[in-house]
Copies of this chain bind each other. A is one copy, B any other.
Amino acid sequence: MTMEIAVDPTGNVLTLKQGDDCMRFHAIWLRDNAQDAETRSPANGQRLIALRDIPRETRIASANIGEAGVELRFEPEDKTVVFNTGWLRAHAYDRSFQQSRGWVADDVECWDSSISDNVPTGTLPELESGGDALKSWLDGATRYGFAKVEGGPTEEGALFRVVDLFGYVRETNYGRLFEVRTEVNPTNLAYTGLGLQAHTDNPYRDPAPTIQVLYCLESTAEGGENMVVDGFACARRLQQENPEHFDVLANYCARFEYAGEDGVCLTSRRPLIELSPDGELIAIRFNNRSLATVTDIPFDKMDLWYAAYRRLGEIIDDPSMEVTFRLNPGEAFIVDNTRVLHARKAYSGTGKRWLQGCYADKDGLRSTRDAMCRKPAEAAE
């Protein structure tokens, strides 16, 4: 089908029309997104100019469709740039923006206990060899916000091999790694045999670590099973049940605090449900142990906030939302700590349970996945 091309009389708007399909682009957006070698470094893709280098009065002086794509000449620079029509289509912004509050990205799939038999899992040696096994594991970890690793060694520090698959350790006051086992004078309740309600780690940190790795070295104690819960699924269920509950948790900030060690006083002020300005669900913070005194909610909303917080907790505790598993030595799991809550059952003093944990960041995970996905596509162009 032929594509029609038109520029409005001011030179400010380009219109491409193909049948019923119509896309408009602004001159300044087009110029700023030119992909030529003077605008973008061919070597590393970074933009070589700033907006201040593009005249404010930029307009499209002429527009043609040729073999190479859409050829535009910009004035007053007298600069000609060719845009690939597929690229323009992929980046079109002349569309409806009607996503409802709490939407999630396309590569995110909300889940409940029914995925228990389909947890993204790989063996450590297979994942370390890269290729499709790694790509599919990274893809699963991004989609579900958690994934398991099996077949690793029973060796201290082996959890770093899991991090090496996609990123870098985020060191904190807990160290590069922390030992999760019963301690005599625990600085944190995680280092006891107590059961822990599903939670996200370190909401008192800002930025909170976005990935947690827990790696099992010993597991002969009774109990101590791990559970994971999709915080996004819980927040959306809360929204379906009662939009006011969702809104009050998203519209006001809670506070979190941890000051359980000398020299440490970590505090943050963030909502339990975090949305981007255009309503994307981007993070959940939920941790009964470190929720501090909440003082940023007006008096006439506080009862509603507590009712919503209680209901969110009930949904999180609902067994139909959780995936339960028992880690054996040499097994690990990772969670997207901005989304997936983790819990553990209480365990007894008989036998031993020893995990090592560490933090990392999910931008590395997405980056590694996207670099693996993108390469063949670009090579094919």
Contacts and interface: CB of A to CB of B under 8 A. Distances in A.
A135 interface: no
Given A45-B257, A51-B310, A197-B50, A28 B303 contact: yes
Given A92-B295, A302-B93, A265 B374 contact: yes
A260 B367 CA distance: 12
A45 B260 contact: yes
A349 to B, nearest CB: 19
Most buried by B among A45, A253, A291, A363: A363
Interface in A247-279: 250-253, 257-271, 274-278
A9 to B, nearest CB: 16
Contacts of A374: 259, 265
Nearest to A371: B265
The oligomer's copy count stands at: 2
Contacts of A91: 293, 295
Contact of A52 (B41, B299, B317): B317
Given A45-B259, A52-B314, A168-B173, 16 more contacts: A43-B185, A45-B257, A45-B258, A46-B289, A46-B290, A51-B288, A51-B306, A52-B310, A92-B295, A93-B297, A97-B298, A207-B363, A251-B278, A252-B278, A265-B370, A270-B276
Interface of A: 12, 24, 26, 28-29, 32-33, 41, 43-52, 56, 91-95, 97, 168-173, 185-189, 197, 204-208, 210, 250-253, 257-271, 274-278, 280, 288-291, 293-299, 302-303, 306, 309-310, 313-314, 317, 361-364, 366-368, 370-371, 374
